[in-house]
Amino acid sequence: MKNKKLHLEIKIHGANGSIKNFVQDDKTLASRVLDGLHPARLFSSGKIIIAGEVSLTAFVASRVTRIDFISETFACWEFPPDISDVVELSEEEFHQRLHQHSSGQMEKRDEPQTPGDFAVRFLHVEMLGGQQIFLAIEIVVELPAERLNRIHFLLSASALHFRLRQGGVGVLNLANMVRFTAYPGPDRTPADAWPAHHAANG
């Protein structure tokens, strides 16, 4: 007997580092789940409930750091204005693309760019439980005065969604974000920022 085709896999990451997997092989039921989702509302309810044939599982939404909806047919939701794409990278690919073959060629924060052009930003996010997420973000270059506001706007929402390379979408619960590092950072340093560089071992 052949294995049934999986139309949806759901991975729920807990703040304690746990990962729970759920699957759905019925195309109609998988579509019903995906059609009812919206990233901004995903973590707003008190619980996330998954009902299987023989069990019911509930997660406390505030203790969930990330949910992946893996499906070859699920198109990603729209991104905020002036952001054309956000995709997850492996850690190795992130560092390869970030350094562009050598650290000496890394783009500086104050390197001039023309507003209206497309550019790629890189984002390293750490969540509760120690999970590391590496993202590439394709944006329309904004005016210098707007660049810091863009980062704040993106990460001040309740959730951040991005494409998964294997198909589907991942969603981060930003209430459980420990830190983020943007490369390159905005060309204007925030007034309340501490001037210091990353240590070689940190």
Mean per-residue pLDDT, 134-156: 74
Please report the pLDDT score of residue 175 as a whole number: 95
Q: Identify the residue with better confidence: 52 or 115.
A: 52
Please report the pLDDT score of residue 67 as a whole number: 98
Please report the pLDDT score of residue 12 as a whole number: 98
CA distance 184 to 144: 13
Query: Angle 74-139-196 (CA atoms, 0-180°, nearest 5)?
Result: 120
Residue 8 above 90 pLDDT?
Answer: yes
CA distance 60 to 125: 22
Note the pTM of the prediction, 2 decimals.
0.85
CA distance 171 to 143: 28
Each domain of the chain, given as residue ranges in start order, spans 8-183
Mean per-residue pLDDT, 172-197: 85
CA distance 79 to 164: 14
Q: Identify the residue with better confidence: 19 or 191.
A: 19
Mean per-residue pLDDT, 42-46: 91
Please report the pLDDT score of residue 149 as a whole number: 66
| Tens-digit pLDDT profile for residues 83-108 | 889 999 999 999 998 876 334 445 55
- Sorted by sequence, the CB contacts under 8 Å of residue 158 that are 6+ apart come out as 40, 43, 44, 173, 174, 175
Mean pLDDT of the chain: 84
SS (H, E, C) the chain: CCCCCCCEEEEEEECCCCEEEEEECCHHHHHHHHHCCCHHHCCCCCEEEEECCCCEEEEEHHHEEEEEEECCCCCCCCCCCCEEEEEEECHHHHHHHHHCCCHHHCCCCCCCCCCCCEEEEEEEEEECCCCEEEEEEEEECCCHHHHHHHHHHHHCCCEEEEECCCCEEEEEEHHHEEEEEEECCCCCCCCCCCCCCCCCCC
